[in-house]
Structure 1
């Protein structure tokens, strides 16, 4: 086993780890990064397809208030384009198809009012939540004791509004409303501005797409210190002594003064710590399962739906297709339709053979767009619950009684170990911007202690 000495060890080469490395590199500090995968990027993964289309199989979009990502975009002169949002959107509900414009589907007036009131209530409640200490809200324990589904049962009266709200929740969290604490949901909405922002394209979290993909951006940022990144080096053991830490991978033994741990919470308990993690911190990580998200891309010779006057956006109540987006460039000759399968749908869908998955997706889009939709040039899908070093996407979630009991531990260092990752972010938790801010924060903590 090769032994290495460094001042600061960063575990994980996703957006959080590379952000920490960037800050330390700028400060001319001695550091190294270890990454379990054979690539950098974490929950970003960009692929160039045979058809000439570039797709993000992981994190994709950037919203206008995600300022740290935009700093990286400007620094690297990365080009972006807006998500295609012209023409009519489509709603398929109980075998009937209708068209609408804007974010909220066209439904009967009573259901529409019901849905609008529910979203407004959610925005008002989330605005009251502190991003630094959400557990200190006067009703924190009450909100944390119930699931988001419980709140929906009490505050949404019509079946159609409840179903559309649930689809919105699946799209944001890649999980079911019954899995998430109301307090955590309120914090998450506040972290991303509000619920409207998280479900919207224009001025929302799905507004902009990076040419070359989100993994392409992180490769540019890491270019100046690639020699400090050790791939295929999963952390197995992390020991602490008075003078620092000793980290062991499958092939390296690393001595460092400080460590920044950026991996998803669900993976932290797979590491052997000596001494063990404080019991409340360990209990927290046991209670932060990942969401389940599957992305499906359908590549067509042309974006034929645009010629039909449609945006490519679908909201559907039919399994497995619930939400789609046109993610091709506005001037593109090819059609790129992105289908999301999330929550329990994703967990069930991935168990099928790829041929069966493809058949089901194509049958769904054919019912909406016609026969032409059943003949893509290429079908490609990816389920993040199968990723050994992620175990899901988009982010770690909190169920009832987690945020109030254990949430205060999320950013607290343990001796020489500091914790980053998008789950630890206050602003844009669960998103790329949150990952960057968490990496910067952890690096600042370490610099303050070492300089």
Structure 2
């Protein structure tokens, strides 16, 4: 067997202390060049399609069971929707998924094993809320706007109550599944609140960063299930667990950036990871192996795990064809629209002003804002999630005009100092060729009840992974780890 490369020497220095002196871009270029050398193995026990967190976790579990495995990744890097970005001063922030929190036990345990520590998201001080052009400060989850407080409290209480009775592994089986799946979250808000527009604008501050979508794009059943999954086997999921910073899903970040987790997984897998390798066709003709056709040759495998976003799965030529239900699920499971915009300052000046760096706004480019500074706070970083209809409004602008709009939003929250960053960076996930959007695939009304049962149903020798297939914390890193483990167990049982 000729191995694609021995990547250990490439990763060793960069992984010793975060990314050390080697930036992510340089590391990717060197790995990319190395992966073009050599050929793929002719056959393995398991092929994993996708080198994101889920695929790498699956491959690790298969390899630990003593089976041969090969990860095929079309990009020149591993990590999928996890992507570090190195600032000019050498600090690292995340251009992709970043946060972890309570009940996300699988990702936290994995990171600990890989020696990737976490640090708490900065929460001291007041949050900022900008509504109808007026600025106020608050603590907690819901801004103290008297026109929406009661409405929002009752609405979230209803959603939490519905989530508590939701079977996380089969939401389509709930007695009210069809009723909930026949309406959007927006319709539910408008039927259950008095100040409808104000409440929906507030909920957009949650759906746009979390789904890359607006409430009118999301099935109510899909949202209730998402909240139900924001827990674990012993802790029910709630809106607070999903949306909060302290005590919620945005509680902590990784020292050195979240992409260190898949980077270190790939380093341990070594030659079992092949980058720049696009999967074109998966052939399951009669026989004992699936034939995986790639841009670098053919690999035969006893089992295949596909851990790729829905648009990428549709881009594969399948024989036999995917089932009608699976195909319809994938065509209706659209990726959200999300861009992360970061402004870098010489210091996190808002902290001295008594602000947490978190903010919400009902208009403009910066609807949901976080303090995205590195642990040592050698620079201060403000992050804006630009998603859903806000993405559609601002993504087509020139970089200069979009930068101006984002900085003006930061300034409205934290003062004129925010207008003068020392650096500005952004990452638009709709332009990621091998993701197709972000942060997660979303479901409109009618999708989950019609096609949901196909989410984890194998297609012959092919099994499905990816965070969106998880029963807990789907859409998050913890869901990616869980789904990778589950798919590996399915495959090992068959082997």
CA contact (8 A) 1:3 1:252 kept: no
Residue 245 of structure 2 aligns with which residue? 201
- Secondary structure of 2:382's aligned partner: strand
1:72 and 2:117 correspond? no
CA contact (8 A) 2:266 2:273 kept: no
- For these two proteins, the number of residue pairs brought into alignment is 449
Partner of 1:216: 260
Superposition RMSD in Å: 1.3
- Equivalent pair of 1:428/1:434 in contact (CA under 8 Å): yes
The structure 1 residue matched to 2:52, chosen from 8, 14, 25, is 14
Query: Aligned ranges for residues 334-353 of structure 1 at < 5 Å?
Result: 334-353=379-398
Instruction: Tell me whether 1:310 sits opposite 2:347 in the alignment.
Output: no
Q: Give the 4+ runs in structure 1 shifted more than 4 A.
A: none
Contact 1:66 1:428 in 2 (8 A): yes
1:259-296 per-position Cα deviation (integer Å, ceiling 9, x unaligned)? 00010112211111011111111111000001111101
Measure the CA separation in 1 of the matches of 2:382 and 2:335.
25
Q: 1:2 to 1:97 in 2, by over 3 A?
A: closer
Contact 2:200 2:215 in 1 (8 A): no
User: Contact (CA 8 Å) 2:186, 2:200: kept in 1 or not?
Assistant: no
1:264 corresponds to 2:309 = yes
Say whether the 8 Å CA contact 2:129–2:413 is kept in structure 1.
Answer: no
Q: Could you tell me how far 1:330 is from its partner in structure 2?
A: 6.2
From the superposition, tell whether residues 395 and 135 of structure 1 become closer, same or farther in structure 2 (CA, over 3 Å): same
For residues 62 and 41 of structure 2, the distance between their equivalents in structure 1, rounded to whole angstroms, comes to: 22
Equivalent residues in 2 for 1:29-428, closer than 5 Å: 29-108=67-146, 110-158=147-195, 159-192=197-230, 193-241=237-285, 242-329=287-374, 332-428=377-473
Q: How many Å separate the matches in 2 of 1:226 and 1:290?
A: 31
Cα distance in structure 2, aligned partners of 1:258 and 1:217: 25
Q: Is the 8 A contact 1:83 1:329 kept in 2?
A: no
Unmatched segments (≥5 aa) in structure 2: 1-38, 231-236
The answer to which of 328-337 and 12-21 deviates more is: 328-337
Question: 2: CA distance between counterparts of 1:446 and 1:50?
Answer: 44
Q: Which runs of 5+ in 1 are unaligned?
A: none
- How far is 1:223 from its partner? 1.7
Could you say what secondary structure the match of 1:19 adopts? helix
Q: Deviations over 1:51-86 (max 9, x none)?
A: 232110000001121111111121122221111001
Query: Deviations along 1:24-54, whole A, 9 cap, x unmatched?
Result: 1111111101001000000000122112321
Deviations 1:325-383 (A, max 9, x none): 11225652321111111112113322112111111111222233222111101000011
**Partner SS state of residue 306, structure 1:** helix
Q: Shift of the alpha carbon at 1:169?
A: 2.3
Which whole-Å CA distance do the structure 2 matches of 1:51 and 1:299 have between them? Answer: 10
Native 8 Å contact 2:305 2:465 kept in 1:
yes
The whole-number CA distance in structure 2 between the counterparts of 1:154 and 1:118 is 10
